[in-house]
Amino acid sequence: MKRILFVASECVPFVKTGGLADVVGSLPKYLDKEQFDVRVMLPKYMMIPDGFKHNMQFKTHFYMELNWRSQYVGIFETVVDGITFYLIDNEYYFAGMKPYGNIYEDIEKFAFFSRACLSALPVIDFRPDIIHCHDWQTGLVPVYLHDSFQGGEFFRGIKTIMTIHNLKFQGIWDKKTVKNITGLGDYYFAPDKLEAYGDANYLKGGIVYADYVTTVSESYANEIRMPFYGEGLDGLMNAKSNRLVGIVNGIDYEEYNPETDPYIVQNYNAKTFRKEKIKNKRALQQELGLECDDRKFMIGIVSRLTDQKGFDLIDYVIEEICADDTQLVVLGTGEEKYEHLFRHFAWKYSNRVSANIFYSNERSHRIYAACDAFLMPSLFEPCGLSQLMSLRYGTVPIVRETGGLRDTVEPYNQYEGTGTGFGFCNYNAHEMLGTVRYAKDVYYNHRREWNKIIDRGMEKDFSWAASARKYEELYNRM
């Protein structure tokens, strides 16, 4: 039996800021329990809900050297959905209402966390065959493993995987400070190791020392080898390309299931959507005060409102998008200019634009179920989960063909009768607008074709089960 340890800075259901938490929370549940003993290690943040804290058992504590400081490390254990979680406790580092704060504090916090994870393993008597690290916060785990943990028998031969969820975030700070915090020798601060452009880079260290590097979609694994997407590390990604694997994320098919979803007005499935799905649209129109009209083409957006997600494109052509025959429903928070943009258009066209500038899990489910189309014009998208949810709910995605969007949404081809959504290639507002209008034309004038697009989309399997098989292959290959 192979023993796998996931090390990450966030995880559903304890703490979540983004897709990383979904992956770390879902993937272990879907790996084959007869082949793999998977456990997860996280920081014990003060902000974790009390319900989970009450179920944690204190295992032990010890003191650990972090360069010139001696730090307390507490270990708590809990089991959720059959998976064992270890939580690393230190109130100095993990207090506060958010998992991340100022980068200079986070640099020290996650150096402590990375070292504490390795130091805790002999204490809890769990020797993993593979440590699966996620994002820059755990980038020092492979580095420390290579450095001060190689002496004893216990750590010899442990392999590591570094998964990049978004290459934009790398954990960069000045070399002198990082040297002082981590206690790593000068040897590690060379350009072929942690040093990048004069600073120290945690993610780079993890990539250099990990046995394998994975990203959350095949296209993104190829894209980050180019300067435009490589965020300054494209050279390194090319050097590691024979150890670079793209595996697309999944979504939880129990939570996102139109047949059983408790948040939506009318449940439906791939057979009944033609009759039943429209009832969710009517209910949402009423709930949001939009004009109640089955014939309106309803576009949904559930997203962080940032440049990365392509909102500058929407900004250019929003007047044309909000045409008479279209309704636009937006849910999310982010940059002020985009929040104001949608508020303004909701005021200007109150019967056809709804701006929900907050986040609500319940309402997001209702948007996935009610809308006709779902718009995601991202500049870059390592994987993306919203398009997988919209496919699951029979809402046709309109996406820019990049990263995970390209791998999961097949553009409609009217001549071959194939495709599960609509795609455009160039990062261009009018190309996006043309694609939206093309989708609208199919929706209004070729309704049978539109329903077949939905059929094909709802047939697809983007559950974690499919992705878990690929991770299992990788673990076995190592």
What DSSP designation does 282 have?
A: H
Strands 69-80 and 199-201: unpaired
Q: Which residues pair with 421 in a beta bridge?
A: 411
First to last CA, the chain: 14
Sign of the Cα pseudo-torsion (262, 355, 423, 17, in order): negative
Where does the pLDDT of residue 408 fall: very low under 50, low under 70, confident under 90, or very high at 90 and above?
very high
Q: Which pair of structure tokens corresponds to residue 193? A: 């190791």
Report the C-alpha gap between 375 and 364 in whole angstroms: 14
Read off the pTM: 0.91
DSSP 15: B
Q: Tell me which architecture the domain covering 273-461 has in CATH.
A: 3-Layer(aba) Sandwich (3.40)
Partners of 245 in the β-ladder: 214
Provide the pLDDT confidence category of residue 287 given band limits of 50, 70 and 90: very high
Please determine, for residue 35, whether its predicted confidence score (pLDDT) is greater than 90: yes
Q: What is the pLDDT of residues 137-165, one digit of tens each?
A: 999 999 999 998 987 789 999 999 999 99
Q: Which pLDDT value is given to residue 17?
A: 84
Do β-strands 36-43 and 2-7 pair in parallel, antiparallel, or remain unpaired?
parallel
Residue with tokens 């697009």: 453
Q: What residues does 60 pair with on adjacent strands?
A: 75
- Write the single-letter amino acid at 149: F
CA distance 222 to 215: 10
Which pLDDT band, with edges at 50, 70 and 90, does 252 fall under?
A: confident
Domain with CATH 3.40.50.2000 in the chain: 2-250+465-477, 273-461
Gap between the Cα atoms of 455 and 32, Å rounded: 30
pLDDT tens-digit map of 291-350: 999 999 999 999 999 999 999 999 999 999 998 899 999 999 999 999 999 999 999 999
pLDDT of residue 96: 85
Residue 356 is predicted with a pLDDT of 96
> Given the DSSP bridges, would you call strands 57-66 and 69-80 parallel, antiparallel or unpaired?
antiparallel
Q: Token pair for residue 400?
A: 């820019």
Q: Give the fold, CATH level 3, of 2-250+465-477.
A: Rossmann fold (3.40.50)
- 106-126 confidence digits (pLDDT tens): 999 999 999 999 999 999 999
Q: Could you please report the per-residue DSSP string of 330-359?
A: EE--B-HHHHHHHHHHHHHTTTTEEEE-S-
Nearest to 458 by CA among 272, 325, 248, 196: 272
Give pLDDT tens digits for 377-401: 999 999 999 999 999 999 999 999 9
